Structures are given as C-alpha cells and as structure tokens.
Amino acid sequence: MIKQRTIRSSIKASGIGLHTGKKVNIEIRPAPPSSGIIFRRVDISPHVDISAHALNVHKTLLSTEISNNDVSVCTIEHLISAFAGMGIDNAIVDIGGDEVPIMDGSSSNYIFLLQSCGVREQDKLKKYLRILKPLQYKEDDRSGEFLPYNGYRITMEIKFAHPVFEKNRHRASLEFSNTSFIKELSRSRTFGFTRDLQRLQEERRALGGSFKNAVVLDDEKVINQEGLRHPQELLHHKMLDAIGDLHLIGYNIIGEFRGYKSGHMINNKLIRKLLDHPESFRIEEFKDNHDLPSGYRTGDIN
C-alpha cells in the first residue's frame, strides 16, 4: 500500500527572512494523516493556522505568500519544495513570524533538517492527481501548462537578457524523484540583480538579502565570490520554485508541467485553472507499488 508520510520527530531551525530581514524561529512537527502542510503562526495569540494550499495563496510578488484572513506567511516555496522532494504529505510548521527563513537561498538546508528527523509512513493511502487533458494558463508572453504523462516531469524555459543566462542553457527537463530533486535541484539558490536592489529595499523587500543567501548579478556577471554552484543553477532554481508552488495543489502530481518564463503567479494561476476544470484530472490511490509511475516507486519518492 502506498501510504502518506510525515516526519518522525520534531526539529527546530532559525534564520532570517529574505524580504523582512527579521530573524524567525520555526519548528517542524509531525501531523496527522490527510492534514496536509499547515503553517501555524505561534507569535500570535491565539495561534492562527494557514493551510499550505494553492487556494490560500494571497500574493505572488517575488515569493509565494499564503494567508488566513489578515494573517499571512510568505516565502514558503523553498520549504514546500523540500517537503515535495522528501515525499512528505503532512506536517505542521510552527513559525514565529510572517516569513519562512531563507537559509542559503535554496532547499538544501530544509532537506538536511527533514533527513535528520526522519520520515515515517502513516495509515492512510497517499493521493495522486493525474492530469488527463492538456491545460494552459498564459499571460502576455509567459505561460504554464499541464500535460498528461505517466510520471512527474518538470520542463522549464527561461529568458533573461543577461550574459550569464545567454551563455548557459535556457531550457531543461527533469524526471522528478527524491534522488533527482536532492542531487540536481535542491542546492540551487535564488538570484537577483543589483540594478533592482535599491527599488526593492525602498519597497521594504529583499532587506535580508546577501551573498550568503542569493546569487547576485550585476549587468555582466555573477558577483558572488564563489560564483555559481553549477552552470544551470539559476534555471534549476526556477524549477525548484515551480515544484514548491505546484505541491500546493494538495496532491502528488502525475503529469508534466511546462513553464515558459513562469514564476509564482503563473504557477498559482495554472493550479487554480486546473481545479476549476475537474474534467482535466482524476484523483487516484495505489495499493500496489508496481502500479506507480517509476519515479514514485519505493527507492525514489513515495
């Protein structure tokens, strides 16, 4: 039986928010079956729970932000992507502020935390959302698309008029699994441009940004002393973001996602459009591991 998963024990971490610049403490705890990922604002009395679901996404400017009425948590995408990469369906994230710590700008620190506390199966079947028909959301020259596919594939194409992007590949595809996520995507950091920094800080954003948690580019090159972690780091980070955003659909996806210059807004609008077209998908459960698409089988990601 293909069962849901949560973490085996609680684990704590702290760091600064990329946009607020404030130190935030979090504790990730096990959660009951079918509860999903819940962010609990413990700095508010009484505590406020916010379900990490696409329909609760409130803002998508430079991060994914979820809310419950007027209480919100932003920059959730890297942690959610780590949950997806580890096959974790249910968890509670106690958070002492309104932004998830950025850590090193990737998902690698969160993968380490989740591996440290361990994962356990629960007594309920995992649910999968199978894409049955092509569906696209397009706005200007940006788009996101779901296609039927017996597995989970992420295809991303980006376009930036910048020498670093122009000399590297613009497009990549990934057969999603625990192994491929951890090895190929999880260490890819967020990035930004020096030309945008003053405007962002005037808007009270990127106040916690630094060379420790972002790849920074001037008009010609990467100015971090250590450079890129690998040539496709910036493209892979966009794929990492997409995996986090798409995991907010509430199910494990069987299908292909294709993004062209897509970001948090396009990703969320595509999910909302899919949920508005129930003929385009089917919810499935699997009792036999051999019936699963290969990337979801035991040994990869459940």
> pLDDT digits over 82-101, tens only?
999 999 999 999 999 999 99
First to last CA, the chain: 11
44, 227, 232 from 89: Cα distances, Å: 25, 35, 29
Average of pLDDT values for 74-80? Answer: 98
Q: Which residues are catalytic?
A: 264
Q: What is the pLDDT of residues 216-229, one digit of tens each?
A: 999 999 999 999 99
Instruction: Set out the domains of the chain in order of their start, with CATH numbers.
Output: 3-125 (3.30.230.20), 128-296 (3.30.1700.10)
- Classify residue 222 by its DSSP letter: B
Say what the pLDDT of residue 302 is.
45
pLDDT at 252: 94
Total-model pTM: 0.95
Within 8 A by CB and 6+ apart from 190, the residues are: 18, 78, 102, 105, 106, 213, 214, 215, 237
Spatial neighbors of 226 by CB under 8 A, at least 6 apart, are none
Yes or no: say if 129 and 233 are a contact pair by the CB < 8 Å rule: no
Alpha helices (H) along 194-286? 194-202, 233-246, 264-275
How many Å is the Cα radius of gyration of the chain? 18
Quickly state the pLDDT bin for 202 (edges 50, 70, 90): confident
- What does the pLDDT look like over 250-267, one tens digit per residue? 999 999 999 999 999 999
User: Could you tell me the two tokens for 268?
Assistant: 């969320």
Question: Which residue type does 150 have?
Answer: N
